[in-house]
Amino acid sequence: MSTFERHARYYLSLAQSSDQDWQLLDAEWEQVRRAWFWIVKQGNQQLICEYVEAFYPYLLLRGLWQDALEWTQREFEIHRKWQDDTAQLFSLMRLAEVYDKLGNTRQVMLCCNQALTCLESVPVEEQRKRLEIQIRLYLGTAYLTSGNTTEALALYEYARTLARNIGDWRSEFIAMTSQASAARRLGNLQQAKKLAEEMYTLAVKHRDHKSTALSLQIKGNVLLDSGDLRRARQVYQRGLKYARLAGTYDLEIGFLYSLANLARTEGKLSKVIELWEEALQRAGALGDKVQESDLVGGLGDIYLEAGDLERAIQCFEQNLIAARQTGNRVMECGRLATLGQAYHRQGELEKAAQYYRQALQLSGEIGDLQMEARILASMGNLADDRNEKQEALIFYEQALQLARRIGDERLGADIRWNRSRIVKSDNVTSQQPSRHDCMHQDRIINGGLR
């Protein structure tokens, strides 16, 4: 065995024996990458697959999504050459997860549909059905993001029924989580609340602290959306206790985030920052670069709402750099949009328009129709502030069409309010954009609001 191979196998054994204490690998990561490049150059297919199996969780936790994509693509090609359908299935599920984090909805769909064709290679029926549930839930979320709400909800219900039929309460719980999140996203708070209560009953029945915490987080979010701040706080505080009992740091951070949002709704800025900094310290101590970066961006949201635009911009720019480094196009799109909002509020309208245009283009590329609708609505607000009323109505109309397509009633109501305000105050006729208007809007999007 050569010295290079001994080094490569040493880092592999380190990953396999670390028990997911990934901080042990941080100091050695550059050496691990060198070992990986050597393995690829040597064409050692078995070792490539072993590396992906061992390091994949680390790559996700550290936000190394481009590495995760490149490594897993190599693994998939090897399994395809070996004509191992079962191994291909697991590679495709990894690829779907990575593409989801990168915001590539189309690739998520392709991977999921291809994975479904490999299911018959799994010999044990119960395992095969569990894998099918996971795939259909991923596929449902991709459909929801791309605006196919009916198909998404049907996939969620199918997955839940399948889980119930095989007596897999955990998979049923995960399916219900997807249903509740979709209902909340679409503004159906009664349905989301009903599902959260069913999830809580299921989790308590099985004495599972993590699932109990998750059900309480969803219920708290629905109560917050409904304006019931007192009960939302009670639910969040109970959920935080369960998250700590379960030892799930990501859920713990999620509850700190939720409590901070609640404090922000109440206008308690000092409490918001205190909770946010606690969550940041927790993520930093655990080495979760993804959570840490997201929390920095969230802190920017807080500063934006408080009117501290310079600090907001600093946080957004830091988060944007991290998003681009990891290839997280969903986060990149969101931060481009919030930078547009910050500069809009600062009165730098041309700079705001530039960021909105970048965000709009990226939202179209990743296929997130809800994000695209929100950006168009923001561009409508910007045009309105520049007294370009007809352009504002065009943006609002396109945003409203997307909101209708994805079934987002809350977003649609906000857009209609903005549109009616212009019509009433300026006696501008709201209309479907003509071919001339669409060409004019393309000029605005690509050439700047002048």
- Residues 370-387: tens digit of each pLDDT: 899 999 999 999 999 999
- Residue 297 · residue 260 · CB < 8 Å: no
Mean pLDDT, residues 74-87: 97
407: three-class secondary structure by DSSP: coil
Mean pLDDT, residues 224-252: 95
Q: What pLDDT score does 424 carry?
A: 74
Q: What pLDDT score does 439 carry?
A: 33
Alpha carbon distance 26, 48 (integer Å):
20
82-86, 288-292, 331-335: least confident range: 288-292
Alpha carbon distance 405, 368 (integer Å):
12
Q: Please, which pLDDT band fits residue 19 given cuts at 50, 70 and 90?
A: low
Alpha helices for 82-228 (secondary structure H): 85-102, 105-117, 125-145, 149-165, 169-185, 189-205, 209-226
- How high does pLDDT run on average in the chain? 89
Residue 92, number of CB atoms within 10 A of its CB: 23
> Which pTM value belongs to this model?
0.76
Q: What pLDDT score does 302 carry?
A: 85
For residue 325, what are the contacts with CB-CB under 8 A and spacing of at least 6? 63
Considering 2-6, 157-161, 305-309, the range whose residues carry the highest mean pLDDT is: 157-161
Q: What pLDDT score does 426 carry?
A: 59
pLDDT over 90, % of the chain: 68
Which region, left, alpha or beta, applies to residue 274 given φ > 0 means left and ψ of -120 to 50 means alpha?
alpha
Dihedral, CA of residue 285, residue 289, residue 295 and residue 298, to nearest 10:
170
Can you give 217-228 as a three-state secondary structure string?
A: HHHHHHHHHHCC
- Whether residue 228 is predicted with pLDDT greater than 90 in this model: the reply is yes
Domains of the chain: 187-284 (1.25.40.10)
Q: What pLDDT score does 433 carry?
A: 42
pLDDT tens digit sequence for 274-330: 998 899 888 887 777 788 888 899 889 888 988 999 999 999 999 999 888 877 888
